[in-house]
Every structure is written in C-alpha cells, then in structure tokens.
Amino acid sequence: MEHHLLCTFSSFLFLFLFSYIPITSQLPYGSSSKQAHNYSNVSCVENERQALLQFKHGLTDESNRLSSWVGESCCSWEGISCHKTSGSVLKLDLRNTLPPYFDDNDYFKNRLGGQLSPSLVNLTNLRYLDLSSNNFSGIQVPAFLGLLKNLRYLNLSSAGFDGEIPHHLGNLSHLRYLDLGDSGFSLRTKDLGWVAGLSSLEGLVLSSVNLTAARDGLQSINMLPSLTTLDLNGCGLFIHPHLSHINFTSLAFLDLGENNFSNYTAPPWLRNLTGLHDLRLGGNDLSDPIHGLFDQMTSLVYLDLSSNRFDASTLKSLCNASSLTYLDMRFNNLQGSIPSEIGQLINLTYLDLSGNNLQGSIPSEIGQLSKLTNLSLSDNELNGTIPINLGQLTKLQAFDVGDNSLTGVLSEDHFAKLRELKSLDLSGNSLALNVSSSWVPPFQLHEIRMGSIIVGARFPAWLRTQKEVWELDMRNASISDAIPSWFRVLCHNITSVDLSSNSLTGNPLEFKQLKHRPSRYRYREIFLSSNKFDGSLKSLPLDISYLDLSHNFLTGHIPQLEVGQTSVVQSLLLNDNRFTGTIPEDLCKSENLSELDLSNNLLSGSVPLCLGNLRDLWLLNLANNSLSGQIPSSLGNLWGLLGLHLNGNKFVGKLPTSMQNLSNLRILDLGDNGLKDIIPAWIGERLSNLKFLRFQSNNFHGAISDTLCQLSHLRVLNLAHNNLSGFIPHCFNNISAMVSGLDDNRNSNFSQESLQDIKGGREVEYSPGSLQFVKSLSLSANNLVGEIPDEIMELVQLQVLNLSQNHLTGTIPDKIGNLKQLETLDLSMNEIFGAIPESLSDLYSLNSLNLSHNKLSGPIPSGNQLQTLTDPSIYEGNSGLCGKPLPNNCWEHKLPAKNGPIDDDEGHSESDWSWFYAGIGPGFAAGLSGVLGILLFKKSWRYAYFKFIESACDKIWVKTTRPRRNFR
C-alpha cells in the first residue's frame, strides 16, 4: 500500500508543480524526445555542436545513452531541442528516465557521471537544463552555470553533487524553476542571500540540502514575490516564527517538513498564505494548538501534519476545512475518539490517522465520505465493530485498520460495493471473517493482510478469485487445512506469502520458478513456519529470496540443485524439522545467502568447507544436529558473520585460529560439543564485538584467559561444564555491559536468533525478543579454586550468577547485595565457609537460590525476597546453618563461643552469666555461716535440729529393712 500511495502522490506532485510552473508551454520546444526530433532538419549551430561534443567527452555513459550524439545535426541528438528557425540549442534534457524501482542494476547503469565541461557556456540561448537522477558524485555544482543567463529551468536533483552551492546561481535572473533537492544533505550553503537575485523564480526545491547554517534563509526566500512552489523538506532550516512582511503570498505549494521550528510552534505568518493548496508540516514535533490557522485557507487541498504532537482538538478543528482532499495526521498524540464531525470533509480522498492513541469506535460518519480512496486507522486503540456502511465507499482503494482492538464478525455486506479496493489490512484485531465458500468478492486485491484474525478452519476459497495479489498475509489465522492445488498456481504471481503459525497440513508448496516475471517483482518471499507440514521437499525454489519452513515436520534430505542451476535465496530457514543426511554443498551456490538456519534437525556428517565462500552470510545456525569432525577453518572467511551457532553437535578438536578474523561476531555458541582446547587469548583480543559467548559442556581446560575481560559488550558468558582450572579473573568488572548496562547495540541484528543458557538451575532458551536484555555469568562445574572476587560484585546488571560445582573457598562477599538485578544465584557444591551475608536479603528480584553443600554456618538471613524461598534444599549440606527454612532452630546452636559472645533466647549475654557464677560462691558461704552460727549460740535450736536429723534417719532404716529381708 505504501508503494502504491507513493506513486500516486508523486504523480500528483508532478502534475501540481507543472500546473503552477508552466515553463514547458512557454518555451518554443517540446518536452519529449519525439518533439525534439520535429526539428531534426534544422541546421545545427556549429560552435554549439562542438560545445556539446566537448560536454559529452567529459561524461561517463555506461549504458551508451548518448550514442546518437554523432553527425552534423545536433538538433536530432537524444535530449536536445533547438529553436525551429535559428537552430540554437534551447533544451538539454539528460535526466535518468528509469525509476529507481524499475531494476536497480539498470537504474544505476543508466546514470551519467564524470565531469561537466565549461563548454556549456557556449550554449548562449539554453533555457532548459535537466541533469537529475544521475551520478556526479564527488564534484560540486559548477559555478559556470551562473553564466547561462537565459536559463528558465534548472534541475540538478538527485544527481550526486556535493559541497557548497555556488552563489553564482543568483545571476540567473530569468530562472523560473530551480531544483537542487534530494542531495542527501551533501549539498550545503551557509548563506541563501543569492536566492534573492532569482527575481523571476516560481518554483524552488531545496529538500535535503543542508541549510542548518543559513540562519537568514527564509528572509532571503521571502523576497521572491512570484514564488508559487517552495520545498524545504528536511533541510534543517531554522523557521522563524516572525517575518516582518510576507512577500511570497502567491505560494500554492509549501513543504516545511522535518525542519527546526522555533519553540516547536507553527509560525503565525502561515495564516497569510491564503492561496495555499498544499501544506506539509510533517516531522517537526509541533505541539502547540493551531486553532484557526487554517480558517482562511479556503483553497487548502493537501495537508500533512504527520509525526508531530498535535492533540485530538486539532483534528476536530480541521473538520470545517471542507476543501481538504488529503489529510495526514499519523504519528501524533491524538487521544480520545474520532469526532463524528469528520463526516463534513465531503471532498476528502485520503485520510491517515494511524499511529495515534485514538480510542472508541470507528464513527459511521466516515461512511459518508463518498470520495474517499485511502483510509488508514491502524496502530490505535480503537474498539467495537467496523461500521457496515464503510462497504458503501465505492471509490475506496486502500483500507487499513490493522493493530487495533476491533471485534465482531465481518460479512460479505462489509465489502459489498468496494469494487476499487486494492489493499486491505485487518490484521492484529479480534475480528472474524464469515463469508460463504462460494463468495466472489467485488474487488481484485493487490495486498491482503489478515494476520491474527480468524479467517476460518478451511482454506479461504475466495482467494481463488484474486488474480492480482502481490502480498498475502494470513499468519495465525486459525486455518486448519491442506493448501489446495489451485493455490499452488496462484502463488506463482505473489511476491510475499505468509501463512505461518496456522495448522496447515500435507506437503508444502511445490515451488516452481515463474519464467516471465516482471523485474520489479522478480523475487518472492515465502513464510510457512509453525505449521504441520510433513513429507520431503522435492526441490528448493530458485526465484525465492526468503524461505521459512521452520517448525514443521519435514523429513528426508535437504534438496540439491540441478546441474547448472543457481538460487537467489538470501534467507533459508529450515530449522526445527526432521531433515536427515548431510548438509548439501549445493547451498554454496547461493552466493547471496545471508541467513542460513538448519538447527534442530537430524543432520550428520561434516560442515562443507565451501560454506566459507558465502561472504554475505551474517547468520549461520547449525545447532542441535549430529554434525561431527572439526570446525572448518574456512568459516574464518565469513568476516561479515554476526551470529555463529554450532552448539549441540559432535565437533572435536581445537578452535581454528582463522576464527579470529570474525571481528564482527556478536554471538558465538559452541556449547555441548567435544571441543578440547584452551580458551584462546585472541577471543578477547580480536572478537571485541562479542555480546554472547557460550562454551558450555566441552573439554576446555587451563585457566580462564584475562583477555576475556576486554569484551566490554559481553552480556552472556557461559563456560560451565568444562575442565577449567585456576582462579576466577579479578578483571571481570571491565565488562561494562554487565556493570552499567549501557551498550551501543550497533549491528545488533537478532531477528531470528535465540540462545540457550542456564537459568535457575535448568537450561532455558531465550527468545529473539528477550535476547538483548540477558545478562548472565556461568562458570559452574569446573575446577576453579580461590575466593569469589569482590570485582564480580560490581557487575550490578547481572541477572544470573552461577559458580557452582567448583572448589571455591573463602566467604560469600558482603557486597553480594549490590547485585540488585540478580534473579538466579547458585554457589552450591563448593567449599565456601562463614556466615551468609545479611545483604543477601537486599536482592529483591531473586527467585532462584542454591547455597547447598558448602561449609556455611550461622543463622540464615530473613526478610524481603528471601522469605519467599522456602525450600530447605537451598541450604542443605551446611551443618552449621540454622534458622528458617531449616528445621533446626538457632538456639540449639548457641553455646559459648571461644572468640566472641553469643546471645541466648532470653537476650542475656555471656557477661551476664559471668556475674551470676561469680555470686554463687560468696552467697553459699554467707548462708552456711548464718545457719552454723545460730546452731552454735542457740541451745534450744541446736537440740531441735539434731533431734530432727535422728528421727529422719530412723524412718529411713525402718522402710528399707523389709525389702532387704525379702531379697534374702
């Protein structure tokens, strides 16, 4: 749809410009080659012929466009028009007539280049000069063009010129149209004062010219009273809010899009341009209310306010502009509902409100806009049903309501009179299509987007009637059926087919290359992933650039190409199937291959050496197969590689040293193989862009190289389950991506990549969407010794830290609480001793903890997130630990310690007990002295005491006499 609209608007703009700049009609020459040849019998002025030949000599002409520039009659040469009587050259039209989308190679080949000869000055009567859409890269606009005093038309747009614009162009006082636009900011000028000399100018196009230094630019342009067309799009010009006097009141076309507005407000002098037909203010981040700004613009037809911050009140204020035919307010801050007053814009043909925050339902009043050809309401928060009267818009060509919250059932009545419809986008809603199997739509669609709506269990039969489809998107459309044979024929003309995430069965399409395909649609894209296709592939298509058959049940061998065949495939995704056999060397014939994913299949054998010839490859994923042998050194030739996944195979041997050439590598996953090597120093020294490094479950040995600390962009480091020894490097705090979390993300293309890693004690797979947010360090199951470095506690962005199953000693660092982002912490099966730091309770994100089988002692900290981790196995194998969630309470362990006080359950310290023991002896002595003193000096008490003792002894004797007799 975007391309269709671009063509429409480009045509509209072209016609519009020339309706206001009738240069061609005022000159005594035609605008086409055919008209130029009408004067082929006119004698050519000899010095002008020689000037043209000198001009040709300085040009490069790869496509031989100027082959007709021979002989005496220069008026018959391609691109030349002469005066019908004098023979003077009036017009030199050498623009590249091929549009960029026709064929890239043909377009580039058709461009002229080289140098511009000053001999053009000899064409003293030249009125029309067009060198647009050529390639004069690296040279400046020639100053001698300012000597062509009779020029009326000068077009140097999209011609590759760069540098400063010569002020000599201001001498062209007869010039009516000047186009220097689309230079890509290569052309620049610090002073636009020279423009004031173009007193006859009616059209000025400076789009994409660098005017950031031209602070007085608009004042100079304001001195052109005849100006009807002004295009300053994307030139960085400072737009003054106040101009003392407006001279260019004749303006009909004004484009100020993507510039620098003062205070982000629309200048009030725009109100004086009452004759405007076309106004473009898009991409300026304007936000202030502009109520009344358009009240006097009664002729306004085209209005672009896209990519600003206008609110819904602006939209409502525009509903009185009944002359509007084009209204673009996408990507603003429109909130609330679409006003019903929008039905007053009876002349509207184009309405785009996409990318806003609009809510509520689609007003039925839109159905009154009988002239509407394009309606886009996508990417909002609209709900409710689609009004059935939208089916009455007989001129509608493009209808886009994708990515909203619309509900309900769409019937045949919704499309009853949409005979002109070419583009339909209903995707991303909760809609259901309910039409009969015999329904014949009134339209012939080019683009069909119905992703994530319910199309139905059966394959839609009405597609058979659509003969002009370019793009078909019915992914996740609840289709449970086999692809019918008639669709295999229809599919040949479709450039993009997406039927992924359905339940399609049977064998996938029998791909056949269409021999006579327009060059513009030469290559196709096929997305059939996540279905239930089975069986084997007979052949790979030769005219498909993107083929995704992943996540199906395909079997057999990957097809080979026939002798002499080549493929244009750029992305080949066959992962997650059941392919067997070896990787075919025929894949190396696909010289444009940039993405190859054969992971999660049953492939065996070795990796073909010729894969190293695929210099455009940026992703190679061969993970989780049964590939064997050594990693071929030829892979080191893939200097553009961003992701290399060879994990889950049977590779052996050492890493090829040629891999140090992969300086652009972002992901390197060699885990789960039989590689036996030290960790080479060149990984840290040469692969400086690595973000994910995974060597888990191999036979790497030796120390962890300190050079890994040079990988400042590293987010995941997994060296678990190897034979690594020595100490953990103290320099890990140099890995800034794990410290600050800030990373430049340059060339981070993870559109198809996933990564397996350990989290919470189990293997998990990170999806492509979440991959860039992972921060993980795993060194478990090695032979590492020494203490846990304090520097690791500076990796405050870590989410996973796994140092288990080593021989680490010492204590858990007190700064463990710094790792606030930590979700998984595993220090189990080491020889760590001492208390668990209280700061562990500061880890609010912790959801997996394992400290088991160490020599930890003392109470287990409590509070915050630790209270939710109630599994006793977290701490088992530490006999000195106590407290919840373990069954042994800490008071059972609170015996006096040799090296310090401990607290009892009553809150008494050891010093309290010392005083108690010290008082027992003197107290007992004092009490005994008191009793003996009384017995010594009090005679009656002494007799009573001894009488009591004697009586007690008699009773004891009597009671023990009978048991002794019975015993005898």
Average pLDDT over the chain, rounded to an integer: 86
Closest CA to 158 of 178, 140, 134, 139: 134
766 vs 605, higher pLDDT: 605
* Range name among 41-50, 369-378, 945-954 with the lowest pLDDT average: 945-954
| Cα dihedral across residues 46, 47, 52, 54: positive or negative | positive
Element (H, E) at 433: strand 430-433
Band (398; pLDDT cuts 50, 70, 90): very high
Q: What is the DSSP string of 723-768?
A: EEEEEPPTTGGG-HHHHT-----TT---SS--EEEEETTEEEEE-H
pLDDT at 708 over 50: yes
Instruction: Give the tokens for residue 874.
Output: 């977290």
Contact 290, 311 (CB under 8 A): no
Average pLDDT over residues 798-817: 96
Band (941; pLDDT cuts 50, 70, 90): low
Contact 581, 558 (CB under 8 A): yes
Instruction: Give the tokens for residue 155.
Output: 């077009």
Residue 239's pLDDT is what?
Answer: 87
pLDDT at 11 over 80: no
Distance linking the first and last C-alpha atoms of the chain: 120
CA 524 to mean position of chain CA atoms = 23
Tokens 């050194």, residue?
633
| Cα dihedral across residues 703, 709, 711, 713: positive or negative | positive
* Range name among 10-14, 164-168, 404-408, 443-447 with the lowest pLDDT average: 10-14
Element (H, E) at 956: helix 939-967
Between CA 86 and CA 93 the distance in angstroms is 19
| Cα dihedral across residues 612, 614, 619, 625: positive or negative | negative
pLDDT at 25 over 60: no
pLDDT at 748 over 60: no
Residue 305's pLDDT is what?
Answer: 94
- What letter represents residue 309's amino acid? R
Please, is 878 exposed, middle or buried when counting C-beta atoms within 10 Å of its C-beta (0-12, 13-18, 19+)? buried
Beta-carbon contacts of residue 828 (< 8 Å; ≥ 6 apart): 804, 805, 850, 851, 852, 853, 854
Q: How far are the Cα atoms of 319, 562, 639, 655, 752 from residue 612, in angstroms, in the given order?
A: 61, 22, 10, 15, 21
* Residue 527, phi then psi, degrees to nearest 5: -120, 110
Band (936; pLDDT cuts 50, 70, 90): low
Please, is 499 exposed, middle or buried when counting C-beta atoms within 10 Å of its C-beta (0-12, 13-18, 19+)? buried
Domain ranges of the chain: 31-124, 606-893, 938-968
In the chain, the percentage of residues whose pLDDT exceeds 70 is: 82
Between CA 345 and CA 435 the distance in angstroms is 32
* Range name among 29-38, 370-379, 953-962 with the lowest pLDDT average: 29-38
pLDDT at 37 over 90: no
Closest CA to 513 of 502, 522, 501, 505: 522
| Cα dihedral across residues 114, 119, 123, 127: positive or negative | positive
Band (896; pLDDT cuts 50, 70, 90): very low
Closest CA to 205 of 193, 187, 190, 225: 187
The superfamily (CATH) of domain 31-124 is Ribonuclease Inhibitor (3.80.10.10)
pLDDT at 514 over 90: no
Band (746; pLDDT cuts 50, 70, 90): very low
Residue 260's pLDDT is what?
Answer: 82
Residue 750's pLDDT is what?
Answer: 45
Contact 550, 530 (CB under 8 A): yes
Tokens 């520039």, residue?
69
Beta-carbon contacts of residue 46 (< 8 Å; ≥ 6 apart): none
Neighbours of 944 (CB within 10 A): 12
Band (591; pLDDT cuts 50, 70, 90): confident
Same fold across 31-124 and 606-893: yes
Band (753; pLDDT cuts 50, 70, 90): low
Between CA 634 and CA 257 the distance in angstroms is 50
pLDDT tens-place string over residues 67-110: 999 999 999 999 999 999 999 999 999 999 888 765 567 888 89
Q: How far are the Cα atoms of 329, 481, 495, 596, 801 from residue 499, in angstroms, in the given order?
A: 32, 12, 13, 20, 41
pLDDT at 756 over 70: no
Band (241; pLDDT cuts 50, 70, 90): confident
- What letter represents residue 657's amino acid? T
Neighbours of 176 (CB within 10 A): 21
Closest CA to 527 of 312, 751, 700: 751
Between CA 133 and CA 95 the distance in angstroms is 6
Residue 508's pLDDT is what?
Answer: 83
pTM of the predicted protein model: 0.80
Tokens 């035609």, residue?
30
Closest CA to 645 of 666, 664, 623: 623
Between CA 615 and CA 554 the distance in angstroms is 29
Residue 186, CB-side half-sphere exposure with 13 Å CA sphere = 19
Q: What is the DSSP string of 52-84?
A: HHHHHHTEEETT-TTTT--SS-GGGSTTEEE-T
Size of the chain, expressed as the number of residues it contains: 968
* Range name among 154-163, 480-489, 528-537, 897-906 with the lowest pLDDT average: 897-906
Q: How far are the Cα atoms of 361, 385, 792, 794, 826 from residue 704, in angstroms, in the given order?
A: 61, 62, 15, 19, 19
Between CA 114 and CA 56 the distance in angstroms is 10
Which bin fits 590, alpha (ψ -120 to 50), beta or left (φ > 0)?
A: beta
Q: What is the largest CA-CA distance in the chain?
A: 169
Q: What is the DSSP string of 758-802?
A: EETTEEEEE-HHHHTT--EEE--SSEEEEEPPGGGGG-TT-SEEE
Q: How far are the Cα atoms of 53, 55, 73, 117 from residue 120, in angstroms, in the given order?
A: 10, 7, 17, 6
* Range name among 116-120, 298-302, 405-409, 952-956 with the lowest pLDDT average: 952-956
Neighbours of 787 (CB within 10 A): 14
Please, is 956 exposed, middle or buried when counting C-beta atoms within 10 Å of its C-beta (0-12, 13-18, 19+)? exposed
Residue 18's pLDDT is what?
Answer: 39
CATH 3.40.190.10 fits 606-893, yes or no: no
Band (138; pLDDT cuts 50, 70, 90): confident
pLDDT tens-place string over residues 145-188: 999 999 999 999 999 999 999 999 999 999 999 999 998 899 99
* Residue 834, phi then psi, degrees to nearest 5: 90, -175
pLDDT at 908 over 60: no
Instruction: Give the tokens for residue 842.
Output: 């500061």
Neighbours of 12 (CB within 10 A): 16
Neighbours of 293 (CB within 10 A): 18
Between CA 107 and CA 859 the distance in angstroms is 77
Between CA 409 and CA 913 the distance in angstroms is 83
Residue 10's pLDDT is what?
Answer: 40
Q: Cis before residue 118, ω within 30 degrees of 0? A: no
